[in-house]
A and B are shown apart, each in its own frame.
Chain A
Amino acid sequence: MSLLHLQGVGKKFNGLTAVSDFNLSMESGELVGLIGPNGAGKTTVFNLITGVHKPTEGRIVFKGEDITGLRPDLITRRGIARTFQNIRLFSKLTALENVLVANHLRLRSSPVEAVIRLGRYRSEEREMIGYSRSLLEAVGLAHVAGEQAGSLPYGQQRRLEIARALATRPSLLLLDEPAAGMNPVEAQELMDFIRQIRQEFDLTILLIEHHMRVVMGICERILVLDYGVTIAQGSPADIQKDQNVISAYLGVETDA
């Protein structure tokens, strides 16, 4: 049984078809790339999976359960975490607090217990702080734990957003253009990093990239979207040869 299954998923915004008849099955442990030119509907696919938008057609099944149209926080609870194309950190909170918030969904103590600071709450809090610090350590941000997230350099913010997503303990991680705005060297480092966390955290990853070259080296399988339509899918080698992709996509490739 596949971990994630999208069946004939479509989304219209006031008549504009952003995504149509989108099908995808992901097995546990896979790393799949979703590419396509700007406005192709990639982010919309993420928003549909994570419940930000409700699909106008089709079904989304995760771990065997239908999650179509479920509330975003409940979908996150079931094990899907994401990052955003335009970084959405809690910029006035510290790096550590950003990661801590993502542990909150596992908190079992009630607000009353939290105010009285009963033993159970204290031990839960200790666990959350310890885990968050180890995550910051794992992404190489331990030294900026106390800094305001918004004041961190761009690359660190990207990493912090990934650490925050990991703190929800997802089985499926959705990364929306994590290498956007990076130079080729930084992008390559980031891809190595993604490969590493996938290993370490046993993740299944769906990765959006605008620039095709970045994903070629890291994904086993790639889907190509254009105007909301899946125009090709297959191994990186197949995609590079695909005539549809070359005309629709590579024509506008502007990789530096």
Chain B
Amino acid sequence: MRRQGLKPPGAFVRLSEAYRQQPSRWGPLLTTVIILCLVSFIHWAGGHLNPYQVRILNLIGINIGLGLSLNLINGFTGQFCLGHAGFMAVGAYTATLLMMPPAVKQMNFFMVPLVAPLRQVELPFLAALLLGGLLSALMGVFIGAPVLRLRGDYLAIATLGFSEIIRIVITNIRSVTNGALGLKGIPAYTDLWWSWGFALLTLVVVSRLIHSSYGLAFKAIREDEIAAEAMGVGLFRHKMLAFTLGAFIAGVGGGFLASLLTTIDPNMFRFTLTFEILLIVVLGGMGSITGTVIAATIVTVLKEVLRGVEAPMDLGFVSLPGIPGMRMVIFSLLLIVVVLFYREGIMGRRELSWGRVLGTRDKTPDRGADT
């Protein structure tokens, strides 16, 4: 057997130790402070904000999780996926059917009865969410397995098609989904603890994965597939990992959304839903976690603020009828402007880190991929 790898001579070992980045001493403390602030804010908000404001905060939390899951696939791994609405639909319907009390189910399914096995089921929220996420991930495996083996942009087309097929299937299997009538009276479990817990957990998982050796492999695939493969990175395996994890998170997010809105129907999961999340990712910066968090907030608030433009307007001398879909036009224009003039988005691939905030960041970061 020949030598396996160079034994770093003594000098190298010490040098490599010297290069290791000193993590900012204040980092963990500041993180704890931020989390405590968030916790006390949520605690305070529950009693002081009106339901409308709470609802927007909930949407922000859910959209952060959804945006991060799409950024994992599109921004970090460079696989252009357009199927998030489909994954969310799978998660939303699965979670809803599993957590809805039997009595409410009976009221919903007055045209065509619900299939027997689901009629009596009533699971706790968390279990329903996780099963929704798992089914969504399974769908991810079914689409990913054939498509992720191909090079190029087939994934965009395939996931877009999948998303539409899911919606049509949901419209048609009335004995499971209640078809176009949708489902009403979904238990409103989603509160700020759940939605922001979802956002925070997704943030931690995605950011840790991205900053691990696996994340580096994702980025290598994004940069150059041929070189990544030549360096021993299995393309299919890693794309599949990012894709199914993204699909899982999207499915869970769908479940949260269903429980927040308390009604779902197939039309909710049109391409415009994917588009909104894509807007968050592009606006924030493909490949920036911080950017996604900021953009999720902006887009969610903007969507509410712009509600006005779709309502009829009375300007005193002339009254304009409401233009439904006007918000989409504005969002589309925004996306075009970002892509044309500001391609990096808000953050590009940069991140906000404590080192950066405090100005103590090492010049040679160990894993500072996003610097």
| Chain A residues engaging chain B, CB cutoff 8 angstroms | 28, 50, 52, 71-74, 76-77, 81-82, 84, 88-94, 96-97, 100-105, 107, 109, 111, 114-117, 121, 124-125, 128-131, 133-135, 137-138, 142, 145-146, 164-165, 167-169, 171, 200-202
Whole-angstrom distance from the CB of B316 to the nearest CB of chain A?
54
A76, A129, A131, A133: the one within 8 Å of B231 (CB): A76
Given contacts A105-B233, A168-B231, is CB(A114)–CB(B226) below 8 Å?
no
Tell me if B349 counts as interface (CB < 8 A to partner A).
yes
Q: Are A104 and B213 touching (Cβ within 8 A)?
A: yes
How long is the Cα–Cα vector from A89 to B5 in the complex, in angstroms? 22
* Chain A contacts for B224, CB-based, 8 A: 88-90
Q: Are A72 and B229 touching (Cβ within 8 A)?
A: yes
B15, B216, B226, B234: the one within 8 Å of A137 (CB): B15
How long is the Cα–Cα vector from A124 to B212 in the complex, in angstroms? 11
Tell me if B88 counts as interface (CB < 8 A to partner A).
no
Q: Are A103 and B213 touching (Cβ within 8 A)?
A: yes
B17, B213, B241: the one within 8 Å of A107 (CB): B213
A89, A117, A129: the one within 8 Å of B16 (CB): A129
Interface centre among A81, A115, A129, A167 (most CB of B within 10 A): A115
Q: Are B213 and A90 touching (Cβ within 8 A)?
A: no
* Chain A contacts for B367, CB-based, 8 A: 97, 100
Interface centre among A73, A92, A171 (most CB of B within 10 A): A73
| Chain B residues engaging chain A, CB cutoff 8 angstroms | 2-6, 8-9, 12-13, 15-17, 19-20, 205, 208-209, 212-214, 216-217, 219-220, 223-224, 226-235, 241, 349, 362-369, 371
* Chain B contacts for A52, CB-based, 8 A: 226, 230
* Chain A contacts for B9, CB-based, 8 A: 134
Given contacts A73-B235, A104-B233, is CB(A114)–CB(B213) below 8 Å?
yes
Q: Are A128 and B213 touching (Cβ within 8 A)?
A: yes
Q: Are A145 and B230 touching (Cβ within 8 A)?
A: no
Q: Are B213 and A92 touching (Cβ within 8 A)?
A: no
Query: What are 5 residue pairs bridging A and B, where the CB atoms are less than 8 Å apart in the complex?
Result: A73-B232, A97-B367, A100-B213, A124-B213, A134-B16
